[in-house]
Copies of this chain bind each other. A is one copy, B any other.
């Protein structure tokens, strides 16, 4: 993978930063955030402005270009990838390391006095604007909104914004109708005494209306906003997709409905002016609820005194707690996903020794097996298929320039998942097709101990996920090892593979307390730069636990793995496991055998079944 040459692009950007056609006054720095106007993590090609200007195309990163410098902030998952993809014009700012300056501190240190720092107000979340604006102002600089996106002005072959057909989901998938979701939302609005709610996140629009799309690869969402009043519903969406009879029927667009459930469909681009009109027409005490991560542009449309901002919207919180229909769907999806992976690993075991399987071939094969499963829609993220040193690039995606051949001498790490109409999967397994070294087994076993420590953890109802993060690290820490990423993220139900408001991370973010029905990933790892990567990831469901004393009736919680794919026992140094950990592995494998075995049998996949039975033989500890 050779870096993108950005010298000319940066020159052009620095020119438009001073061009009065685009900026009222020259800006001495221009910020290019990661997201789109919906603050999505995964974005459409037309929104990949940061990747366009820098070459770095990981899912998280912020670029800042000044007259002299170009700097990129990203987190531990992407240090290696960003270093590979960017040319020498760029300085990599490793977030999470002690000596890395914040964007604000760095700007203050490099900018001449009284500088203007520009940013697209539709792309920057309001909370970030506020923090950054304050820090800059206190150092004598100004953060200014630049209406026209400066990257777009130099991006001559920028692709069009997608506008693909919609999928409607019936009650058997969603458990709750969109009307009932609107009713529940309005009751939350009434509780907080707000009159309007602005839905800006794409997955929240999709969840609220029980619709899915494919405007963004891997995330079944569509470009839209919604504004929900106590008696009105406005959906801002483009294209002829609203002409689809199934969609019209689903949204009851042509029925005579009570007026408060009548959906007004409006052009996507009219959101700002409509919201400004709402803002202008508010009477005292009429509040408008927005996420504090909504764009600065939309937030500013509502006069400050009328805004009600929260880190998480009631939709985000309701969406995170899966109902029975969603949970059952997630279970089905994970069983199908396990069938596909048993097929894949059985196939790899035979093919790898021949020396013909590359990372890309393996990823494609995984997709092929998944696509054979019922209700398969697409992958849930770009498959991380990485062998040997590529495994240490945490969010690696194989491309022809880096594509490595799997061998019996290297560790293979596969982090992959799919969107099925009944659920979203995300699973990582680390395999060796030859004989792992003692050191590789040692590291794998520490990671496994961390995985089990989280998965088997028992904790009181209402515990926040970040309190569980260190459990995943303790065994690694004891030997002086660690990994530079969080341990888990929320997972959507046929929605985004990363979703809030819960997660398991050492970063103290405002995560919401875990409650039964939430679904998160459990994925500790260990990465040896230049050598190998290890990660073990299951998607787990928060369930009630039985404890001796039950926290004085506060209630106990634990996790149930939804992912049911064998963990390679060959990689385990059994002597490093406690008896309890050993039992956990054996019981987990027993469940894989029973549940996935039955499905393999039903699908007539006998060879994969034999592979599963062999891979799930119980571990025996040497006493």
Chain B residues contacting A477 (CB-CB under 8 Å) are 457-460, 547, 556
Q: A138-B305, A468-B470, A470-B467 are in contact. Are A478 and B458 (CB under 8 A)?
A: yes
Complex Cα–Cα for A477 and B551 (A): 8
Please give, as numbers and ranges, the residues of chain B lying within 8 Å of A551 by CB-CB distance: 480-482
Chain B neighbourhood of A471, CB < 8 A: 470, 474
B-side contacts of A470, CB under 8 Å: 459, 467-468, 470-471
**A138 with B308: CB separation less than 8 A:** yes
A267-290 interface with B by 8 A CB criterion: 285
Q: Is A409 an interface residue (CB 8 A)?
A: no
Question: Does A350 touch B at the CB level, under 8 Å?
Answer: no
Choose one: B469, B481, B548, B550; the contact of A549 (CB below 8 Å).
B481
**C-alpha gap A547/B480 in the complex (Å):** 5
Question: Which residues of B have CB within 8 Å of A489?
Answer: none
User: Which residues on the B side are within 8 Å of A479 (C-beta)?
Assistant: 547-549
> What 0/1 readout, one digit per residue, does chain A (484-506) give for beta carbons within 8 Å of chain B?
00000000000000000000001
- Give the complex CA separation of A519 and B367 in angstroms: 53
Give the chain B neighbours of A138 by CB distance below 8 A: 305, 307-308
Residues 441-477 of chain A: 1 if any B CB is under 8 Å from the residue's CB, otherwise 0? Answer: 0000000000000000111101010111111011001
Instruction: Return A482 CB to nearest CB of chain B, in Å.
Output: 5
Q: Is A229 at the interface (CB under 8 A from chain B)?
A: no
Chain B residue nearest in CB terms to A513: B98
Within the complex, the shortest CB–CB distance from A491 to chain B, in Å, comes to 22
Q: Mark A510-554, 1 if CB is under 8 A from B, else 0.
A: 000100000000000000000000000000000000011111001
Interface string of A33-75 (1 = CB under 8 A from B): 0000000000000000000000000000000000000000000
**A508 CB-CB contact with B under 8 Å:** yes
A473 contact set on B, CB distance < 8 A: 459
Q: How large is the interface on A (under 10, 10 to 19, 20 to 34, 35 or more residues)?
A: 35 or more
| A434 proximal to B (CB < 8 A) | no
Per-position binary interface string of chain A over residues 534-578, scored 1 when its CB falls under 8 Å from any chain B CB and 0 otherwise: 000000000000011111001010000000000000000000000
Complex contact A480–B308 (CB within 8 A): no
Task: Assess whether B513 is in contact with A549, with CB atoms less than 8 Å apart.
Answer: no
Q: Which residue of B lies closest to A466 (CB)?
A: B508
Contact B462 A474 (CB under 8 A): no
Interface of A is mostly: mixed
A159 touches B (CB below 8 Å): no
A592 to B457, CA, bound (A): 34
Give Cα distance in the complex from A481 to B547, angstroms.
Answer: 9
Q: Verify if A140 is at the interface (C-beta below 8 Å from B).
A: yes
Please tell me if the beta carbons of A547 and B508 are within 8 angstroms of each other in the complex. Answer: no
A528 to B, closest residue via Cβ: B552
Which of B462, B508, B556 is close to A480, meaning CB atoms less than 8 Å apart?
Answer: B556
Contacts of A462 in B (CB 8 A): 98
Residues in chain B near residue A506, CB distance under 8 A:
467
Q: Within 8 Å CB of A481, what residues of B?
A: 549, 551
Closest to A307 in B: B138
A211-235 to B contact mask, C-beta < 8 Å, 1/0: 0000000000000000000000000
Which single residue of chain B is at the shortest CB-CB distance from A509? B508
- Chain B residues near A547: list those with CB within 8 A: 477-480
A479 to B548, CA, bound (A): 5
Residues of B within 8 A of A480 (CB): 458, 460, 547-551, 556
Q: Shortest CB–CB separation between residue A98 and chain B, in angstroms?
A: 5
Residue of B nearest to A287 (CB): B138
Least CB separation from A304: chain B residue: B138
Least Cβ distance of A586 to chain B in Å? 19
Partner of A508, one of B307, B482, B508, B554: B508
Best-surrounded residue of A307, A308, A469, A551 (most CB of chain B within 10 A): A551
**Min CB–CB distance A404 → chain B (angstroms):** 24
**CB closest chain-B residue, reference A549:** B480
A547 and B476 alpha carbons, distance in the complex (Å): 10
B residues near A457, Cβ cutoff 8 Å: 474, 477
Q: How far is it, in angstroms, between the C-alpha of A575 and the C-alpha of B82 when the chains are bound?
A: 51
Q: Min CB distance, A289 to chain B, in Å? A: 12
Residue of B nearest to A469 (CB): B467
Chain B residue contacts of A550, Cβ below 8 A? 480
User: Given the complex of chains A and B, what is the CA–CA distance between A147 and B467 in angstroms?
Assistant: 42
Contacts of A482 in B (CB 8 A): 460, 551, 554
User: Which of A459, A460, A470 is the most central at the interface, judged by chain B CB atoms within 10 Å of its CB?
Assistant: A470
Binary CB contact string for chain A from 134 to 171 against chain B (1 if under 8 A, 0 otherwise): 00001010000000000000000000000000000000
Q: Considering only CB atoms, which chain B residue lies closest to A443 in the complex?
A: B549
The distance in angstroms between the C-alpha atoms of A598 and B127, with both chains bound, is: 59
Minimal Cβ-Cβ distance residue in B for A305? B138
Closest CB-CB distance, A594 to chain B, in whole Å?
A: 26
**How long is the Cα–Cα vector from A467 to B508 in the complex, in angstroms?**
9
Q: A474: which B residues are within 8 A, CB to CB?
A: 457, 471
Contacts of A549 in B (CB 8 A): 479-481
How far is it, in angstroms, between the C-alpha of A479 and the C-alpha of B308 when the chains are bound?
41
Closest to A285 in B: B140
10 A-B pairs (CB sep. < 8 Å): A98-B462, A458-B480, A467-B506, A470-B470, A477-B547, A479-B547, A480-B547, A480-B548, A482-B551, A508-B508
| Smallest CB-CB A-B distances: 8 pairs | A480-B547, A480-B549, A508-B508, A480-B550, A479-B548, A467-B470, A480-B551, A458-B477
Q: Known pairs A477-B547, A479-B547, A480-B556. 19 more at Cβ < 8 A?
A: A98-B462, A98-B513, A138-B305, A138-B307, A140-B285, A458-B480, A459-B473, A459-B477, A466-B508, A467-B470, A467-B506, A477-B556, A478-B547, A479-B548, A479-B549, A480-B548, A480-B549, A480-B550, A508-B508
